[in-house]
């Protein structure tokens, strides 16, 4: 549904005219800087203020710093299509950006500030985002997507669990990490499961090919989503590792079947599409690694963690940001310079990180090479897409 831009949105600075503009740039910049800083701290002795649990800081900033920025840019942009609502823009968007930045500043200065203050600042962002999403969806009668506000609310709970451990509670951070990992997996299965087959069928139709080769089975879709969603409560209950593994295997099979039915090999000529299929393949692989842990020696939990984050999330976020940024600025859906380099770098980052987790590469070499590839990929996005995201739409329309 086409939305009507408010006068406030039309008069906003270009970078604040639509949520994807600032949040995609911030997500990419933070992805590059955050991972390079982490590796510099880990192997180079950089004197960063990461608190008394640096590994927990790294997990938090990837899961609850970087990912929410990318999610915000996509969801708040997609909502305008779903509802016809005007986009969040101008001062309101600036306030949301400032709230996210405040959380990052608090987490980067955690050693110098009291834990309660770090928690108070960082915890503010996700509840505000969830409430805003819920209000827009309810106001415009879009109850179908209301569960997304609930997912963001659960991300806020995961964030609270991270901070409770810093405030002296025992072992809550691991529950927060598990919750965040399963939530991002579910969100990718739902969102990528909608857009990937739809975009693929549309491209085939436009290019005179048969869109019916892209098949979607509603029962299979429901089974894939249900198996993925059930991992959330099961993983939070102590003593059920076997049940969680079996659910992960079922989710891997169901999502693998979905991906096969989408016939992604038919769009091998279009990078903006095959990157989404490869990102979804990462989800299948990550769930398989998770499910095999109790049955196969040598598969440690960090393998599935990095497959779903550095692999699936990194690839799908890159794929979505490169496509949405073009379509919503009135430009042709064609990768700009360095586009294939971005994709190659982020795919290499995921492969190298998982290989290091599985012991197939020297740990220090694998992690360092993965971080460099990750930073190159998202750094190239900032360079290539800054002119696109900081300038008016190519077709002269507002937004």
Instruction: Quick: pLDDT tens for 241-257.
Output: 889 999 999 999 999 99
Provide the pLDDT for residue 277: 98
The three-state (H, E, C) secondary structure of the chain, written as one string: CCCCCCHHHHCCCHHHCCCHHHHHHHHHHHHHHHHHHHHHHHHHCCCCCCCCCHHHHHHHHHHHHHHHHHHHHHHHHHHHHHHCCCCCCHHHHHHHHHHHHHHHHHHHCCCCCCHHHHHHHHHCHHHHHHHHHHHHHHHCCCHHHCHHHHHHHHHHHHHHHHHHHHCCCCCCHHHHHHHHHHHHHHHHHHHHHHHHHHHHHHHHHHCCCCHHHCCCCHHHHHHHHHHHHHHHHHHHCCCCHHHHHHHHHHHHHHHHHHHHHCCHHHHCCCHHHHHHHHHHHHHHHHHHHHHHCCCCCCCCHHHHHHHHHHHHHHHHHHHHHHHHHHHCCCCCCCCCCCHHHHHHHHHHHHHHHHHHHCCCCCHHHHHHHHHHHHHHHHHHHHHHHHHHHCCCCCCCCCC
Instruction: Catalogue all structural domains in the chain, each as residue range(s) with its CATH number.
Output: 7-389 (1.20.210.10)
Provide the pLDDT for residue 79: 95
Provide the pLDDT for residue 45: 85
Provide the pLDDT for residue 120: 96
Which regions in the chain score pLDDT beneath 70? 1-10, 52
């Amino acid at each position: 549904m086409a939305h009507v831009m408010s006068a406030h949105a039309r008069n906003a600075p270009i970078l604040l005219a639509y949520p994807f503009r600032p949040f995609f740039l911030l997500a990419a910049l933070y992805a590059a800087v955050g991972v390079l800083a982490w590796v510099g701290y880990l192997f180079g002795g950089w004197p960063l203020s990461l608190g008394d649990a640096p590994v927990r800081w790294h997990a938090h900033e990837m899961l609850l710093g970087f990912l929410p920025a990318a999610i915000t840019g996509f969801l708040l942009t997609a909502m305008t299509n779903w509802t016809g609502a005007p986009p969040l823009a101008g001062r309101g968007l600036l306030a949301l950006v400032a709230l996210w930045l405040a959380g990052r500043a608090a987490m980067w200065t955690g050693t110098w500030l009291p834990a309660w203050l770090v928690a108070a600042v960082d915890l503010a962002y996700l509840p505000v985002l969830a409430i805003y999403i819920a209000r827009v969806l309810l106001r415009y009668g879009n109850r179908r997507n209301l569960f997304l506000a609930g997912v963001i609310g659960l991300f806020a709970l995961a964030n609270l669990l991270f901070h409770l451990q810093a405030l002296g509670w025992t072992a809550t951070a691991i529950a927060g990490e598990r919750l965040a990992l399963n939530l991002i997996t579910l969100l990718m299965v739902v969102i990528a499961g909608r857009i990937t087959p739809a975009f693929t069928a549309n491209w085939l139709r436009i290019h005179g090919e048969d869109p019916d080769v892209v098949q979607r089975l509603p029962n299979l879709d429901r089974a894939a989503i249900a198996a993925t969603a059930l991992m959330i409560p099961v993983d939070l209950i102590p003593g059920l590792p076997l049940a969680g593994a079996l659910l992960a295997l079922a989710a891997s099979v169901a999502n693998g079947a979905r991906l096969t039915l989408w016939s992604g090999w038919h769009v091998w000529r279009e990078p903006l599409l095959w990157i989404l299929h490869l990102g979804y393949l990462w989800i299948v692989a990550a769930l398989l690694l998770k499910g095999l842990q109790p049955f196969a020696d040598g598969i440690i939990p960090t393998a599935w963690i990095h497959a779903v984050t550095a692999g699936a999330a990194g690839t799908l976020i890159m794929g979505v940001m490169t496509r949405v940024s073009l379509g919503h600025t009135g430009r042709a859906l064609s990768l700009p310079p360095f586009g294939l380099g971005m994709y190659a770098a982020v795919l290499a980052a995921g492969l190298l990180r998982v290989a290091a987790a599985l012991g197939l590469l020297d740990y220090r070499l694998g992690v360092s090479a993965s971080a460099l590839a990750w930073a190159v990929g998202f750094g190239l996005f900032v360079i290539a897409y800054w002119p696109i995201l900081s300038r008016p739409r190519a077709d002269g329309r507002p937004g």
